[in-house]
Chains A and B, each alone.
Chain A
Amino acid sequence: MDTQIWLDERGRRCPLPIIALNRAATEHPAGTVIALLSDDPAATFDVPAWCRLKNATLLSESTPPDGGAGSVFRVQVNAAT
Chain B
Amino acid sequence: MGSNWQPPPGLLDGVGGQPASATAAAAQVAAAALAWADPRSLHHAGRRSDGLLAAARRSIADSVSAAAGTTIHADEVYFTPSALAAQTIALAGCPGPVVMSAVETAALLDLGDLREHSQVIGVDALGRVDVAAFGQAAAGKAIAALQLANSEVGTCQPIEQVAAANPALPILMDATGGLGRIQLPTGWAMLTAGAGGWAGPAGVAILVVRRGGRWVSPPASERGLLGGFADIPGAVGAATALAELSAEQDAQHDQAFANIELLRAGIATKIADVEVLGDGVWRLPHILAFSVLYVSGEALVLELDKRGFAVASGSACVAEEARPSHVLAAMGAYTGGNIRISLPLGCTTETVVGFLDALPDAVAAVRADN
Contact = CB atoms under 8 A, between A and B. Distances in A.
- The answer to whether A binds B is yes
Interface in B311-339: 315-317, 322-324, 328-329, 332-337
B293 A41 contact: no
Interface residues of A, number: 16
Contacts of B317: 13-14, 42
Interface residues of B, number: 21
A76 to B, nearest CB: 19
Contact of B324 (A22, A42, A50, A53): A42
B323 A15 contact: no
A14 B315 contact: yes
A49 B316 CA distance: 15
A22 B295 CA distance: 12
Contact of A41 (B273, B294, B322, B333): B322
A19 interface: yes
B370 interface: yes
Interface in A7-63: 13-15, 18-19, 22, 40-42, 45-46, 48-50, 52-53
B275 interface: yes
B329 A14 contact: no
A15 B316 contact: no
A48 B332 contact: yes
B350 to A, nearest CB: 31
A45 B293 contact: no
Nearest to B291: A49
A53 B290 CA distance: 13
B294 A42 contact: no
Contact of B335 (A13, A19, A49, A53): A49
Nearest to A14: B336
Contact of B332 (A19, A40, A49): A49
A41 B323 contact: yes
A77 to B, nearest CB: 16
Contacts of A19: 294, 370
A12 B337 CA distance: 15
A50 B294 CA distance: 10
B118 interface: no
Given A42-B315, A45-B329, A15 B337 contact: yes
B49 interface: no
Contacts of B333: 45, 49
B293 A15 contact: yes
B296 interface: yes
Interface of A: 13-15, 18-19, 22, 40-42, 45-46, 48-50, 52-53
Given A22-B294, A49-B275, 18 more contacts: A13-B296, A14-B296, A14-B336, A15-B293, A15-B336, A15-B370, A19-B370, A41-B324, A42-B316, A42-B324, A42-B335, A45-B332, A46-B324, A46-B336, A49-B333, A50-B293, A50-B334, A52-B332
